[in-house]
Chains A and B, each alone.
Chain A
Amino acid sequence: TQLLEQSPQFLSIQEGENLTVYCNSSSVFSSLQWYRQEPGEGPVLLVTVVTGGEVKKLKRLTFQFGDARKDSSLHITAAQPGDTGLYLCAGGVMEYGNKLVFGAGTILRVKS
């Protein structure tokens, strides 16, 4: 059974600070997705990384996939109140079907 451990569970920071969210597993994933979810809504895809060691940047967000494709990180530079939300990592598992295994999520609150 594949599991993804996400940390921290909750993060409260001031506007302008930097932060990193981590996603770790003992399993290898075919890909790693990061989503952001607002209360009562579905997750919105931010990025997909598929190659070990891959780094992708989306404005102030930097995503990295571990060399062994077992872990990932999301770094936000100069956080803004609009970044507030639930961040979810999800690993792609290509076996019978192509399911996503989700972490429990990180609740980010950015105070102005």
Chain B
Amino acid sequence: ETGVTQSPTHLIKTRGQQVTLRCSSQSGHNTVSWYQQALGQGPQFIFQYYREEENGRGNFPPRFSGLQFPNYSSELNVNALELDDSALYLCASSSPPRVDEQFFGPGTRLTVL
């Protein structure tokens, strides 16, 4: 069984740029959730995708957007990067009926300069 994978591992961008992060869900899981974890804090929910549709969104601005593909992999796109976007971005996969039992990938560390 393949776990959740994310790419890239690390990324450095400058303010105003755009970034795309990628996630492959665990085998058999059709739901992907994205979280932002700032240093010293717990993860914060960004949004969730199910059957290629956004299925829930946290308190993040529209410049955070996503996609889910037919193979259940997903992308997180962030436009107009700000310094405060520097964080560990985590992807988690799950499957009904226990969509809240989420399994996380290793994360992508984004640094915005």
The answer on a CB contact under 8 Å between B90 and A42 is: yes
Q: Known contacts being A96-B55, A99-B48, is A88 close to B109, with CB within 8 Å?
A: no
Q: Interface residues of A: mostly helix, strand, loop or mixed?
A: strand
- Give the contact stretch, choosing among B13-21, B61-69, B73-81, B96-104: B96-104
Q: Known contacts being A42-B106, A88-B42, A97-B48, is A31 close to B55, with CB within 8 Å?
A: no
Nearest opposing residue in chain A for B42, CB measure? A102
Nearest opposing residue in chain A for B102, CB measure? A100
Q: Interface residues of B: mostly helix, strand, loop or mixed?
A: strand
In the bound assembly, the distance between CA atoms of A25 and B43 in angstroms comes to: 17
Q: Is A52 an interface residue (CB 8 A)?
A: no
Binary CB contact string for chain B from 82 to 97 against chain A (1 if under 8 A, 0 otherwise): 0000001010101000
With beta carbons under 8 angstroms apart, the residue of A30, A44, A45, A97 that contacts B47 is A97
